[in-house]
Amino acid sequence: MRIGIIGATGHVGSAVFKEAQSRGHEVTALVRDGSKAKKLFGEGTPVIEKDALSLEAADLNQFDVVVDAFASQKPYQHLDLATKLISLFRNDDQTRLMFIVGSSSLKKADGTRMLDDVLKMFANEPWIATPIQQVHEVDYLQWVDNVNWSALSPQVNFVPGEKTQYRIGTDEVMENKAGKQEVSFGNFAGALVDELENPQHYQQRFTVVDD
């Protein structure tokens, strides 16, 4: 499968890149700094060196899947990239879009969103705009019914670690066997590439937890 990963050199993007590469897919890094990608993934790594928000249809429509692993210091850019990618692929059956969206959009058993808790605890933190914008991104995606999109959320504890065993769910927070809401980068990448190889969540958000 031809996979393009926006933000491939980030923590999460690089885990997804390596997982897809290890399974034999043809993976391209869509990044600002191509040399960093070649250092991480090998000299022969295909690279498109561009700001994420400058990517155009011509850069992207060569791929079977575009993974949005973009991380920005400007939180609104998460939403802007999502709306741009969607608008580029309206009524396009060829390319699938896979978004990585924060855990704050997951629901608790009582139906409220994790974001409600986060806002209660951290309303004045400088990083609060990021979970807010990522929740907007998930809300926005629910409106889109003519693009082949999916979105994967981690758990609130999203930590370095290899692929081991994991379970997936849909819109609710999940816990590992020790009762902790946690997923490793490796397990997250495993679940994401599983979904690319065997699509189960068409126009849906899903989530993954360490077993």
Compute the distance between CA of residue 165 and CA of residue 17 in angstroms, rounded to an integer: 19
**Considering only residues 140, 159, 171, 194, which one is a binding residue for its own copies as defined by CB under 8 A?**
140
Note whether 35 binds its own copies by CB under 8 A.
no
- Residues 79 to 118 in contact with its own copies, rule: CB under 8 A: 79-80, 83-84, 86-87, 90
Q: Is residue 185 within 8 Å of residue 159, measured between CB atoms?
A: yes
Residue 132's SS3 state is helix
Compute the distance between CA of residue 158 and CA of residue 93 in angstroms, rounded to an integer: 32
| Binding mask of the shown chain, residues 38 to 67, with x at each position contacting its own copies by CB under 8 A | ---------------x--------------
Q: Which is nearer to its own copies, 3 or 151 (CB)?
A: 151
**Considering only residues 144, 157, 167, 203, which one is a binding residue for its own copies as defined by CB under 8 A?**
144
Using CA atoms of 140, 27, 185, 104 in order, give the dihedral in degrees to the nearest 10: 0
Note whether 136 binds its own copies by CB under 8 A.
yes
Compute the distance between CA of residue 187 and CA of residue 193 in angstroms, rounded to an integer: 10
List residues near its own copies by CB under 8 A: 53, 74, 76-77, 79-80, 83-84, 86-87, 90, 133, 136, 139-140, 143-144, 146
